[in-house]
Amino acid sequence: MAGITRSARTRAALTALASRQHGVVSREQMRRLGFSDGRIDDWSREGRLRRVFRGAYAVEPTAVTEQGRVLAAALACGPQAVVSHRSAAFLLGIGERSPRVIDLIMPGRRGREIDGIRIHDVPYPKASELVRAHGIVCTNVARTIVDLAGVNGEDQLRGTVERAATQRVLDLAAIDAVLAGGPRRRGAPCLRRVIDEWRPV
């Protein structure tokens, strides 16, 4: 009876955790709840878990939203992974669509390769450059726009800035601070041209 009770409590804890995380959990989180690797693999084979990325699972029968897929990518890469670039733009509501490949930043190194995840080789964000969107840690609007300047063309970048302005989250001073506060960033001249169009005359 005690064993059944512990098992039930473990399942309940897993369900509660998944409900707070868009229906997804990491293997490491399951281990901390008391799941063995063998039990995790068994549940995956039985269909109780569905792998979203290597090391991150959807807890069935929960349907995984686009936000859940982004969070699963971050969980797969560890607690210091930060959602960035197009994926951050999606979470913040200034992107065109949810990207197929999830963009992340890892501290100090590129991190392990996982299919469907792109680790960007850019400076790790300062605490002031991070926010939570849909409960997921990601770069803030200013840092996201600066990062996007390094991977998007001028027309795409202009569209992102326009969406930020429309939603009244465009902060030119914050963008200037990100550009000034680190090494020279790819796409910075293009970004300055774009944001100069929004400066008061």
Q: What is the mean pLDDT of each run of 10 residues along the chain (201 residues)?
A: 71 94 96 96 95 95 90 95 97 92 86 85 95 98 97 95 97 96 89 95 77
| pLDDT at position 7 | 82
Q: What confidence score (pLDDT) does residue 151 get?
A: 95
Q: Name the pTM for this structure.
A: 0.90
DSSP 3-state of 156: helix
Taking the CB of residue 131, how many other CB atoms lie within 10 A of it?
A: 17
Q: At what angle do helices 188-196 and 141-149 cross, to 10 degrees?
A: 120
* Residue from 99, 74, 76 nearest 86 by CA: 99
* pLDDT of res. 174: 97
